[in-house]
Amino acid sequence: MNWAIAILQTVLFVALAPLLAGFLKFCKCRLQNRRAPSFLQPYRDLLKLTRKQPVISENASWLFYVAPYIIFTMMILAATVIPLIAVDMPTSESADVIVLVGFFAFARFFLALAGLDIGTAFGGMGSSREMTISSLAEPAMLMAVFTITMTASNTDLSGAILHILHSGSTLHPSFVFALFALILVAVAETGRIPVDNPTTHLELTMIHEAMILEYSGRHLALIEWASQLKLMLYGVLIANLFFPWGIAQSFTFGALSFALVVLVLKLVVLSIFLALAETAVAKMRLFRVQEYLGFAYLLGLLGMLSHIILESTR
Amino acid sequence: MILHLAYSAVLLSLASAVFALLQTRFNALVFLFLGLSGAFAIAAGVGELLDQTVLIDKIPLGLPWQAWHIRFDGLSAFFLLIIGIAVFVVSFYAPNYTMNEQKDPQSFAVLSLFTGLFIAGMMLVLLADDAFMFMIAWELMSVASYFLVAFKHENSANRRAAFLYLLMAEVGALLIILAFGVVASFADGFTFDALRASAIPTIWMSIAFGLALMGFGMKAGLVPIHVWLPEAHPVAPSHISALMSGVMLKVALYGLIRFCFDLLPEVHWQWGVVLLIIGTISALSGILYAMMQQNLKRLLAYSSVENIGIIVMVLGLSMIFLANNHKELAALGLVAALFHAFNHALFKNLLFLGAGMIHHQTHELNIDMLGGLIKKMPETSVLFLIGCMSISSLPLFNGFVSEWLAFQTALQVDVLDNGVLRSMIPVSAAALALTAALAAACFVKVFGLIFLGVPRSRHAEKAKEIDSFSMMIAPVILATFCFFFGIFPSVILDLLSGVTSHIIDATLPQTSVLTPLWLAPVSMQQASYSPFLILISVLITALVLFFFLHGKGATKARIVPTWDCGFGALSPRMQYTSNAFTMPLRRIFATAFLIDEKIEKTMRENTKLNVAEVRYSLHIQDHSWVHVYQPIERGVNRVAKQVGRIQTGNIRTYIGYSLATLILLLWVVSL
């Protein structure tokens, strides 16, 4: 039974990811006074891509073919770790938050290699920039997450969420720092404005798009879906880690469906905020990104220190 | 029995050296002995780790009144296991590699002789139970490896690297002798048992620790005394570089652990802080410098500096916990450090052997001249990829497990009382995260530029796969281990609990879980990792995906030339190079390097706009060359000049010196 719910939750994660992307696009369009495509448009795009014949460069090696599958698999694994609507899933014990970061690193490793595989300048450019940004973002993310896990003295996400639920509504100043750090990192890692622009078509500013420039057909569908999933993963991580109220602690139908409704509300609020930010802020220069991520890291560090100095029981 | 296995391992590697010297027609015997030596070392190591009784022996060698004391316990056994695996594997790899590269029998004999001595020296260091034998074995290891570094001495740069190596090795050895001497002066005798029982005051203990840290740190390649390492390791033949980077550095770590955790009567948290800081600096600057290298073997050598830094950092954590009476957590730190040492030996050996294979087939080690090898050398590329994934600490591979354990150790900081420590350790954990992420970037560069893309030179274009089975089997074994111990780390971690109970008299916390399925170093409630379950879910997910997207209905991909934006003539030179790939990080971390970047433009016909030719040159130097080594070198030269003044060359002056000395001595005696 528990396993069935765990699998159901993962499937739900994967199935809802394009919807979140569609809703985000809807919000952005409305903010920019444009007519929005249907919420279901990302699903149609994915379906169209899977039906198309992939066109692949003659320079491609096996790694180029395999990478999309690996990337998507890693995102699915990450989805099994993050509690979506219920805590204490059997799958969540198999990996903690450090492994979660490891899954993202795994996917990124292959994405960057795939970018280098064809041997064009754009691919290399994208890989180089992606690895640069992620190597600055990863410590900031771990700092933010460690603040939470140290409070809960538990690096399992489920355990950390349960600890926060049970500790009542005490205000932790460290959580505020960690929350902002994690939001900054999430924006950078999912390739949103101001770090990267997912809709850009100007090659020199591309990061994520430059790496996947050579992909088409079902391979592109997998990569696109994986990046939508990544956005959702970060959204759920922020929503459930910092605002866990409403998540199901027992596997009854009532609790689960209530949790789903609450989760949808949380994600709607988050995506409205993200759309607002993306509309209000301009993309920054590549060499400003380290200041941005340095700030995120500093916030994470401040969170950690304020936990140690202010909140620790000793 | 187990001790005899260890002795046989030493004797067999000596036998391989002797056979090489005799230059019989049966050169294969040399490698057979080497392989057997490795196998015996593995057997002895595993046997002792399972058995867990401390074995003691005396051999009537050395000085007449001082027999060699031998002691074989868990810590020695674990490091002997590491050496054994590396030697066993290298014995498969070496025959083809040396036979092809060395046409003349003389150089073959030299190479094999010193390889045998080098390995015997490393093994004897682990067996030594008195300072005297320890230093003899240590010197055997250092000097034999000097000849290996100087092996291709036709090249003046190699001679210089070898001299630097010898110099640093000897200075390090002197410091170690001093460290032993300081402890021995408060003990009766040089045996390790006597040193353990010494009543040494705290201040002298700290001095001994400092000397040992510098001595062993010099050998292990800690920043800022690491400069010899990236010079010396790459110039040796590849399988020797593998042994030096993968194994010899571990012997230096063994010395540090033995000295600090075992021989010194107690540890202080301040030492732990020193280790933590030095380790963090080494890890970060090691990987930053590694990233900037174009020569593959230099890059791998710098990456060893990084990994040694990580290990020392975790050792520092362990020391801090130990000094604060959290023995179980200290055991966790020690286990993490030792497991990372083991893992590093596996994947660094794999990568160095891979580099050797690339060099063997393309005669090229410059990353910017390679490319596209994934199609020319498919098997090598898979093996090398596994090495890159392990060293980048990606889940499912062994490097990840030890790094995960290191993070778990650092996150236990809440038990400490000292506020400074509690805020410092998380910062170093974040530095560890940065190191891991940079390592991933570095090895994306390595694999991406060497194996992917389009060949950048004719050598790379014409490369072929290795056709020798024995040369291929070595990296295959290592890659299998990297994967196997990534999925079932408990095999090694179980063995390690015996080591910690010997050294610091503690094992992992009672609540910890180490089963083939689950890994929970503190308790199941705090953190758990199950690589096997993850592997199964990866396989299931991949199968489902493949079934849906690649099943019967899927259209076959169309293979076309790369889209060139309509400009035509894509050339391999348009690809990203090593310097281009690392440019953003070079700019962000600019203060970590001494960068000399020049762009020279030649204009056509004296106009200001029409560029005829652009030359770009980039030279990156290590800070410690300019700020540590060169001042010392200048200082030594200046002092030598001053001392030289008393050498007048006049015989009467020398007689005067003798007389003055005689009078002085008589005065001293009369006191």
Give me the residues of A, 191-230, that contact B with CB < 8 A.
214, 217-218, 222
Q: Note whether residue A198 is domain-resident.
A: yes
Q: Note whether residue A186 is domain-resident.
A: yes
> Do the Cβ atoms of A53 and B587 come within 8 Å?
no
Question: Mean of the pLDDT values across residues A285-301?
Answer: 91
The shortest CB-CB distance from A135 to any of B430, B437, B556 is to B437
Residue found under tokens 């340095």: A294
Neighbours of B21 (CB within 10 A): 14
Question: Which band of pLDDT confidence, cut at 50, 70 and 90, is reported for residue A73?
Answer: very high
Residues of chain B found within 8 Å of residue A11, distances taken between Cβ atoms:
none
The shortest CB-CB distance from A56 to any of B433, B542, B557 is to B557
Tell how strand A55-57 and strand B611-621 pair up: unpaired
Residues of chain B found within 8 Å of residue A63, distances taken between Cβ atoms:
374, 452
Residues of chain A found within 8 Å of residue B523, distances taken between Cβ atoms:
none
Q: How many beta-carbon contacts under 8 Å exist across A and B?
A: 254
Give me the residues of A, 125-184, that contact B with CB < 8 A.
125, 127-129, 131-132, 134-139, 142-143, 146, 149-150, 153-156, 159
Q: How far apart are CA A68 and CA A207, in angstroms?
A: 17
Q: Note whether residue A313 is domain-resident.
A: no
B71 three-class SS: strand
- Give the model confidence (pLDDT) of B127-138 as tens digits: 999 899 999 999
How far is B327 from chain A, CA to nearest CA, in Å? Answer: 19
List beta partners, residue B520. Answer: B513
> Do the Cβ atoms of A53 and B557 come within 8 Å?
yes
Return the pLDDT at B316. Answer: 95
Return the pLDDT at B101. Answer: 63
Counting every residue written for chain B, the total comes to: 671
Return the pLDDT at B391. Answer: 95
- Give the model confidence (pLDDT) of A117-166 as tens digits: 998 888 999 999 999 999 999 999 988 988 888 888 888 888 888 888 88
Which helix or strand (DSSP H or E) is residue B378 part of? helix B378-391
Q: Is the pLDDT of residue A273 over 90?
A: yes
Return the pLDDT at B297. Answer: 94
Task: Please name the residue of chain B whose CA is at the shortest distance from the CA of residue A110.
Answer: B444
Chain mean position to CA B482: 16
Domain that holds residue A120: 2-308
Interface check A189 vs B, CB under 8 A: no
DSSP codes joined into one string, chain A: -HHHHHHHHHHHHHHHHHHHHHHHHHHHHHHTT-PPPPTTHHHHHHHHHHHSPPEEETT--HHHHHHHHHHHHHHHHHHHHS-SSBS--GGGGG--HHHHHHHHHHHHHHHHHHHHHS--HHHHHHHHHHHHHHHHHHHHHHHHHHHHHHHHT--SHHHHHHHHHHTTT---HHHHHHHHHHHHHHHHHTT-TTT--TT---GGG-SHHHHTTT--HHHHHHHHHHHHHHHHHHHHHHHHHH--TT-BSS--HHHHHHHHHHHHHHHHHHHHHHHHHHHHSPPPPGGGHHHHHHHHHHHHHHHHHHIIIII---
B61 three-class SS: coil
Which helix or strand (DSSP H or E) is residue B55 part of? strand B55-59
Q: Mark the ranges of chain B whose per-residue pLDDT is less than 50.
A: none
Return the pLDDT at B99. Answer: 72
Residues of chain A found within 8 Å of residue B414, distances taken between Cβ atoms:
150, 153, 312, 314
Residues of chain A found within 8 Å of residue B411, distances taken between Cβ atoms:
146, 149-150, 155
Question: Mean of the pLDDT values across residues A44-71?
Answer: 92
Q: Mean pLDDT of all residues in chain A?
A: 89
Question: What backbone phi and psi angles, to 5 degrees, belong to B124?
Answer: -65, -35
The shortest CB-CB distance from B561 to any of A58, A63, A65 is to A58
Q: Note whether residue A314 is domain-resident.
A: no
Q: Note whether residue A67 is domain-resident.
A: yes
The total number of structural domains in chain A stands at: 1
> Do the Cβ atoms of A69 and B545 come within 8 Å?
yes
Q: Is the pLDDT of residue A311 over 80?
A: no
